[in-house]
Structure 1
Amino acid sequence: MASAIFTSLICRQQRLLTLTRSPVATQLYTRLASTSVQQQQQQSQNKPTDLQQLKNLKVEYQDGIAVVLFNQENSKVNTLSRGMMDEFVPLFNHLQNDDKVKGIVVMSAKPGSFIAGADINMLESAKNRDELYKISRHGQDVMNQIEQSKKPIVAAIFGSCLGGGFEVALACHYRIAMNDKRTGFGVPEVKLGLLPGAGGTQRLVQKLSLPDALDVILTGKEIKAKKAKSMGLVDAIVEPIGPGLHPVEEKNINYLRSVAVQKA
């Protein structure tokens, strides 16, 4: 059974959406988001969800909670690549329709890297504005699916959570961060002459005051875990565990995972 804290969070989120938009804008936003999600679901219905063939994602189950692990192949860090997003959509729909799954945790299998940002090669490969628009639209559809999930989704963050990775975390219903020097939040796209294209600008304004949101978006600065918690970007902080019989990073990932599963 999903934790009561998520019921409260989802209700609070819905109230916030209503308060921060006019009635007409709210209806339009809801209609567009719902249409995009429905289109994504229809497009993925014919795609078989063979969990054994996933290359960038891995799913494990613990106490009725699906733990989705970001693990981009042939890379030391995770990026929000086309391959990862294409795998996420059918996997997400599979988990949504699995009655045995009561909640979802998303986290990284790579120590020190939640998701370091969008795949720059994917952006550079776009030949024109229409292709860039499609990439942005696809990213927005994925984030809307996360945000509108009928099951609570917890982001368990250990390491860099930047750009598209931060947008993934913002779309989740609850965020837990490991208090590690490598854990940082931000949207550094502005340093490349870009702005967040998958809904991050809208969700930051919902989480922060307008001046604080603009400061994060326009400076591209990185925010450490404790500061993110004090700003309201993170809901809970997990302190790292010291040395022991097992490697420290392995212990910390498992500890963060156990806390996230309890929240879900």
Structure 2
Amino acid sequence: MRLSSAFARTSPACLIGCFATALAQQPTPALDQILSRVEANTDQYKATVPSFLCDERITSQELRDGKLKHEITIDALFRVTRSGSPSDALEESREVRAINGEPSSAKKLNMPISFSGGFSGALAKFLSAERRQCFDYQPDQSASVSPGTEAFTFTAREDAAKQPACSTIQPGTTGKFVIDSATIQVTHIERTVPNPIGRDQSVLGTATVDFTPVNLNGKSFWLPSTVTAFTTETPKTSAFRFTAKYSNYHRFSASSTILPTTSDSNQPQPR
């Protein structure tokens, strides 16, 4: 057969090298189990987290030569709601309360840098079952982590770029995540991607999310406490930094009151 013929023409050294490369791309059994647990927790979050509200404090900055060039602070009521679509996706929105300490209800924000998706896509894009084929995962032996946690890295696979599930993964994406060893919940995730600004192709963009357990109506969910996004400074482009802190979580719910109807006999009668 043609396959056997091509295989026979392959040198033993190449066979060993190719086999080693294939093994290197496969997670070890222990890592495979951890990834499966992380993916299950991600899926559970997507399926069960209710709509909720929290307080958001944003600081958005532009820096040049390490010095602050422009800054804006925003206080807002941040809302995450289920869309009601067949996919029941999570949607993020905010209601601005103050800008630079002054009361405001602005609908459009002119920030040096903005970021979204920390609640709705930070984990699902990199740590879901359908995306595992897009990345190579490895334990991060170089990371300094707190007791009771473990760190791992991920790198976008070049050979997976044409896979439909990987179409939104930017080539050159790298990242890492940290888990709580007891619950296998992600406590921190970060990713770095090429982030061209105009014609400046050398800019890198990094986004990080730190998670903490939050109680919503008697059930615990791991939700963002801090979201950070920043770009590198180059000779052509300033550095930009976005930091958002979240607190005072509470479940979003609507209430209604049904009033008794008034019979026609009690209505004033025309004379």
TM-score between both structures, scaled by the size of structure 1: 0.26
Q: Larger radius of gyration, structure 1 or 2?
A: 2
Greater per-residue helix proportion = 1
Greater per-residue strand proportion = 2
TM-score between both structures, scaled by the size of structure 2: 0.25
